[in-house]
Amino acid sequence: MPWVAGAALMAAAPARPVEAPAAVSTSPVDGGEVAIVEHLGGTVPLDAVFRDEQGRPVTLRSLIDRPTILVLVYYRCPGVCSPLMSGLVEVLDKVARVPGRDYRIISLSFAETEKPALAAAKKANYLAAFRRPFPADAWRFLTGAKEPIRAVTDSIGFRYQLVDGEYAHPAVLVFLSPQGRIVRYMSGLTFLSFDVHMAILEAAAGRISPSIRGALLYCYRYDPKRQAYAFNILRVAGTSAAAGVFLVVGALTWVSARRRRRGCRPRAPRPP
């Protein structure tokens, strides 16, 4: 029942607010909503040109030649970007797939002011955090100009805002097929190794899968000022109330129809 689902979500919610994935908006200055608008089955702009950690120009087409995990971040982020990428390191240490052979990661900064030197420093930090060897070529850190960044954020439905000099945005992993097709979104800051393992296999096959945390993003609203998700009790209560009304109306309709059918039945004659 709806109220049971709402109670379960509330019980599962951590005591402190869930830290928000950085904000999403097709443009960081248009005042749009911070959100992910899923474009499953769509394709990222493979000919978009960025700079790698060494400052060399690269296209997405040259990098996405195997299942790829795309992570939209900005490297100076004081909020959720570091926990997001740390969560990725933690789960990939447990995934039984070979990095560089079975999959690749691309971290792309959506802040056009960030440069390759900062990307290189971040890359060194995260590669050093793995407990097992992780090939440097298996995780690329990119920066770029406004136009190609905008093309990527639009293609995956990543909407963010610029708030008081910092970006508000969602935390999400986007799984791409070797052809650059969007096959799965995975929101949050921590991930299950089974989910990531299966998402990599699905990306290899080009098989589209629904998001596994849609309910979480629905029930938690993003607070750009706190850069955190807060439980949206009004939204859950409203949904539960509406569902409850439909259930009650449906039950009353069923009972009324059943009584009418009974009233229409011919009564058996009484014995003399």
For the segment 226-244, what is each residue's pLDDT rounded down to a tens digit? 544 454 555 555 555 655 6
pLDDT for res 244: 65
Mean of pLDDT values over 186-192: 88
Look at strands 158-159 and 35-36 and give their pairing. Answer: antiparallel
Strand, helix or coil at 158?
strand
Q: What's the pLDDT score for residue 268?
A: 55
Residues 6+ apart with CB under 8 A from 15: none
Query: According to the model, what pLDDT value does residue 224 have?
Result: 46
- Whether 71 has a pLDDT exceeding 80, the answer reads yes
100: left (phi over 0), alpha (psi -120 to 50) or beta: left
Structure tokens at 100: 């560089």
Q: Which of 243, 224, 241 is nearest to 160 (CA)?
A: 224
Q: 160: which 2 tokens?
A: 């963010």
pLDDT tens string 1-54 = 333 333 333 333 333 333 333 333 333 434 457 788 899 999 999 999 999 999
Q: How far apart are CA 161 and CA 147, in angstroms?
A: 16
Q: Which of 39-48, 214-223, 245-254 has the lowest mean pLDDT?
A: 214-223
Cβ 23 vs Cβ 163: under 8 Å: yes
Phi, psi of 118 (to 5 degrees): -70, -40
Q: What percent of the chain has pLDDT over 70?
A: 67
Task: Read off the amino acid at residue 82.
Answer: S
Q: Which of 71-80, 91-100, 188-197, 226-235 has the lowest mean pLDDT?
A: 226-235
Banded model confidence at residue 249, pLDDT cuts 50, 70, 90: low
Least confident of 6-10, 128-132, 155-159: 6-10
Q: What is the mean pLDDT of residues 198-224?
A: 69
Mean pLDDT is highest, among 80-94, 209-223, 234-248, for: 80-94
With a threshold of 0.75, does the pTM exceed it? Answer: no
Inter-CA distances, 94 with 52, 88, 258, Å: 27, 10, 57
